[in-house]
Amino acid sequence: MNSSISRRRLVGGGVAAAAGAAFGSSFLAACSSNGGQSPGSQDTADANVKLPTYAPSQPVKPALPAEPEGVEPAYLTYPDPPKQQFSSPVGQGDKLSLFTVIASGLPTAKGKNSYWQAIDKAVGADIDINFVPPADYADKLATTISGGQLPDLVQIFTPPPHLSQLLKAEFTDLTPFLSGAAIKDYPNLAAIPTQSWQATVFNGGIYAVPIPRALVGPIVLRRDDIIAGAGIDGEPTNFAEFKQHAKAVTTAERWALGSADGARVLIEEMLGMPNGWRQENGTFTYGETLPEAKEALTRVVELIKGGLFHPDALLPGADVKQWFGTGKIVWHYDNYPAWPDFYQRFASVSPQMDIGGLIPPGFDAGSKPTLWQGGGYFAFNALKQAKPERIRQLLSVMNWFAAPFGTSEYLLRKFGVEGEHFEFVNGAPVPLKAAASELLVPFGYLADAPEVIFQPGREVVARKQHAYQVQAVPKSVSNPTTGLYSETNGTKGAQLAVALSDARTEIFNQRQPVDSYDKAVAAWKSGGGDTIKAEYEKAYAATQ
């Protein structure tokens, strides 16, 4: 009855809400670390945009270097004393509002939050944040934009339909401020890798500042302690060997795998399938239309039938992370940042936990495996239209927030004030439990420095992560549609992907044979896939 707002209005919602809901239903596109299709250029102008000149900044020499290019540097301790980058606040106490998703619970309100106040004082601004639960991002963005009262910084997390038109109409073209050498005014933003900037190009200009993330894409994590316990080495050389290893670790209480979709991606990487799309001489092919896609599905069903999956793996709502953390499954497909998270969450339950990353071997002697690169960013923040002076002010505040690892500003941002919010233990900052809810303010989503590998108290983990990246990054392939824009993908891409995903679920559950995938792919093609392919080819041709 009275909850008519939540039920009836959702159903009878306006166009933006309906389209927004289609997007919100799958966190697709730019933010997916699967090197997802990020909306980018529309024509030659976009290809000619000069991205900011990359100028890496490393105030402290890392223990393990950032080589080859794309690998994150690893640090084993926090420099003591930390280097102070800014001698005085960059702002004059002006108000600044931010619209961002919040991936945790709400932080303590600003009035009672000493961490928030300390940040305000240090940067010289009065920061106000509009929190949005990720599930409701699309609706909230739609109403915020239609209401006309935009905050200064708006995070584009799940790209809404007609993103390029939206950016042009409501947000600032940052090209004069950031392109090429202009980025020198903001040295910390210049340290954001070029790959991360590619997704922010629209309408022939740079329209947002990205929140950088590792180039390393999603990863197959592996419980090395269990592998060692079973007496096998964790590096199979082909699929058959992988299957043997999987059988070797499966017992009555433990299984090899927990997610059918994750296994599918691993096998696709083994088969050398492209990252989303393959580009060859100007022709684009969608990975799922290749015969290897069906081969991967067949093999996943083979593994399911072999009893190598957790019995609840196909149920929706399965807590796969829980299984991995407690040792019920051995291989787990996840986003790269999840690696250190497992230690934080499960170290007390599984103290012997030792996690490594699996580099996919070739499927058989003749295959060349691929690793899929990540998108290089979490989301990007667009600046609402304002006078150039105001834009410069906002950018210098973002520059403060992007101060790199090793600076006192970074320490303040990530950990708070020493003694109040954290303490140094053996050269590493350790958060204080009492202040935990103050630290939930997502300043990292305002602007951030490129990530580094820093695992205080867990040197082995840091070294393992670095070693994995050194091997993985050179082998990773990017998604060739990054930087290219397809209108149809913006409007229909999400629904088409969901339809394919549903078809796969039917196959995994063995309600449909693997051959039914042909029908699903044909439906994808006729439902818009062919149009998307044509649009990408056209966009690519324009850049040549």
In angstroms, what is the minimal distance from the CB of 379 to other proteins?
A: 8
Which lies closer to other proteins via its Cβ, residue 138 or residue 484?
138
Which lies closer to other proteins via its Cβ, residue 32 or residue 396?
32
Q: What share of the chain is helix, strand, coil (3-state, %, to 5)?
A: 45, 15, 40
In angstroms, what is the minimal distance from the CB of 1 to other proteins?
A: 6
Which lies closer to other proteins via its Cβ, residue 163 or residue 174?
163
Which lies closer to other proteins via its Cβ, residue 110 or residue 525?
110
In angstroms, what is the minimal distance from the CB of 374 to other proteins?
A: 9
In angstroms, what is the minimal distance from the CB of 391 to other proteins?
A: 22
Pair 96, 123: CB distance under 8 Å: no
In angstroms, what is the minimal distance from the CB of 114 to other proteins?
A: 12
Dist CA 160 CA 174 (whole Å): 20
Hey, which bits of 400-503 come out as E strands?
A: 422-425, 428-431, 453-454, 476-477
Which lies closer to other proteins via its Cβ, residue 31 or residue 452?
31
Which lies closer to other proteins via its Cβ, residue 112 or residue 519?
112
In angstroms, what is the minimal distance from the CB of 31 to other proteins?
A: 4
Pair 170, 43: CB distance under 8 Å: no
Q: Is the dihedral of CA 338, 343, 348, 351 positive or negative?
A: positive
In angstroms, what is the minimal distance from the CB of 507 to other proteins?
A: 14
In angstroms, what is the minimal distance from the CB of 428 to other proteins?
A: 18
Neighbours of 278 (CB within 10 A): 19
Dist CA 92 CA 446 (whole Å): 18
Which lies closer to other proteins via its Cβ, residue 203 or residue 350?
350
In angstroms, what is the minimal distance from the CB of 93 to other proteins?
A: 20
Exposed (0-12), middle (13-18) or buried (19+): which is 280, by Cβ within 10 Å? exposed
Which lies closer to other proteins via its Cβ, residue 33 or residue 41?
33
Pull the structure tokens for residue 165: 């038109």
Pair 408, 84: CB distance under 8 Å: yes
Q: Report helix, strand or coil for 78.
A: coil
Which lies closer to other proteins via its Cβ, residue 68 or residue 133?
133
In angstroms, what is the minimal distance from the CB of 266 to other proteins?
A: 11
Name residue 213's amino acid.
Answer: R
Exposed (0-12), middle (13-18) or buried (19+): which is 87, by Cβ within 10 Å? exposed
User: What DSSP string runs through 227-289?
Assistant: HHHTT--S--SSHHHHHHHHHHH--SS-EEES-HHHHHHHHHHHTT--SSEEEETTEEEEGGG
Which lies closer to other proteins via its Cβ, residue 9 or residue 368?
9
Which lies closer to other proteins via its Cβ, residue 233 or residue 319?
319
In angstroms, what is the minimal distance from the CB of 360 to other proteins?
A: 14
In angstroms, what is the minimal distance from the CB of 234 to other proteins?
A: 21
Residue of 151, 197, 229 lying closest to 386 (CA atoms): 151
Dist CA 99 CA 380 (whole Å): 11
In angstroms, what is the minimal distance from the CB of 500 to other proteins?
A: 10
φ/ψ (deg, to 5) at 309: -105, 150
Dist CA 378 CA 156 (whole Å): 10
Residue of 306, 233, 227 lying closest to 263 (CA atoms): 306
Print the SS3 string covering 512-529. Answer: CCCCHHHHHHHHHHHHHH
Which lies closer to other proteins via its Cβ, residue 16 or residue 383?
16
Residues 6+ apart with CB under 8 A from 285: 274, 277, 278, 533
Dist CA 216 CA 336 (whole Å): 7
Q: Say if strands 277-280 and 283-286 run parallel, antiparallel, or are unpaired.
A: antiparallel
Which lies closer to other proteins via its Cβ, residue 372 or residue 485?
372
